[in-house]
Chains A and B, each alone.
Chain A
């Protein structure tokens, strides 16, 4: 458990350091995820048990981890009151259009590969 957490934090630390040293506009944890993914693939895709346990435990409560940031929405009630229509439409229409476009594109490309 602690070993797994140390691996995750090490990858995040490497990601944050890389993003800052190279002035990349990418969140450090995303680079950390890419790094861990590359290491796992280099090991043949096999995930050490301690890491798997920690990762699964964290991802099972992933929703909880969004809550403190989500509550931050109360700081932005004026913006929401002002721009509620564009925000609502971008969420509703934008998301459903994206589902449709990606689905059609994927079905087409996957069918061609067969």
Chain B
């Protein structure tokens, strides 16, 4: 058994095992999503996170030890966030004529998203650090995690909340829009992109190109607006 113990020490010290497990879990997640014909509830991120969380808990591996390896994947979130400027610049010509209305809607919707999140969480008695983790839930994950950290929230919890919000918005958001008779594809895209960030945008792109373009715009604008305004708002009210 000495060989296995040595192997375990090696595997838990080097980033190799954590990186491999992360990529395998992601492949399993995309495989499940493809099998479910990209149904929004079969989200690859959700599947991969649940798989890895289960494995870590079952093997008794500490999150810190896992993250020491997985941080090489995590690091790429920074440049990927910067890269969101590219689709935004591409869609610029298509959306610039409706820009003032779009900006006003996204800022209004983004503010509502933040206030409703804090209101519901704090109103039902959630702890301040939990409310701070829920506040940026409509913003794309890397940005939301940065905001939560700035507010004194828990970035890991924020990541899970953001992903779940995206799945809810992408899966059930279109039903709400049908119910309210929002038929304008531009408005539908703006609503989904504001509330359900990248997961909603991916869904919108697959349904209608106009909705997809506006959803991408809304996601970028909401990320920028919430990142700039939420920390200031939070300071003003002195924390929820």
Contacts and interface: CB of A to CB of B under 8 A. Distances in A.
Contacts of A63: 26, 29, 43-45, 48, 198
Contacts of B195: 95-96, 98-99, 102
Given A74-B53, A90-B121, A102-B106, A110 B187 contact: yes
B157 interface: yes
A91 B120 CA distance: 9
A94 B131 CA distance: 13
Interface residues of A, number: 75
B143 A27 contact: yes
Q: How many B residues are at the interface, by size bracket?
A: 35 or more
Interface stretch (B5-13, B34-42, B222-230): B222-230
B141 A71 contact: no
A105 B53 contact: no
B206 interface: no
Interface string A12-51: 1001000000000111111011101100110001010001
B20 interface: no
A1 interface: no
Interface string B112-154: 1100110011111111011100100110011101110010001
A79 B172 CA distance: 26
A87 B119 CA distance: 11
Given A26-B228, A101-B109, A67 B182 contact: no
Given A70-B45, A82-B127, A65 B73 contact: yes
Contacts of B198: 62-63
Given A41-B89, A85-B124, A98-B113, A106 B56 contact: no
Interface string A50-88: 011011101101111111111111111001101101110
Contacts of A58: 76, 79-80, 83
B180 interface: yes
A26 to B, nearest CB: 5
A31 to B, nearest CB: 8
Given A27-B150, A59-B80, A69-B77, A102 B145 contact: no
Nearest to B163: A70
A33 B112 CA distance: 24
B213 interface: no
Contacts of B163: 66, 70
Interface of B: 22-23, 25-26, 29, 43-45, 48-49, 52-53, 56-57, 63, 66-67, 70-71, 73-74, 76-90, 92-93, 98, 100-102, 104-106, 108-109, 112-113, 116-117, 120-127, 129-131, 134, 137-138, 141-143, 145-147, 150, 154-157, 159-161, 163-165, 168-169, 172-173, 176-177, 179-180, 182-184, 186-188, 190-192, 194-196, 198, 218, 220, 223-224, 227-228, 231-232, 235
Interface of A: 5, 8-9, 11-12, 15, 25-30, 32-34, 36-37, 40-41, 45, 47, 51-52, 54-56, 58-59, 61-76, 79-80, 82-83, 85-87, 89-107, 109-113
Given A37-B85, A95-B195, 14 more contacts: A27-B143, A32-B82, A58-B76, A63-B48, A64-B26, A75-B154, A76-B154, A82-B127, A98-B112, A98-B116, A101-B108, A102-B106, A102-B190, A103-B190
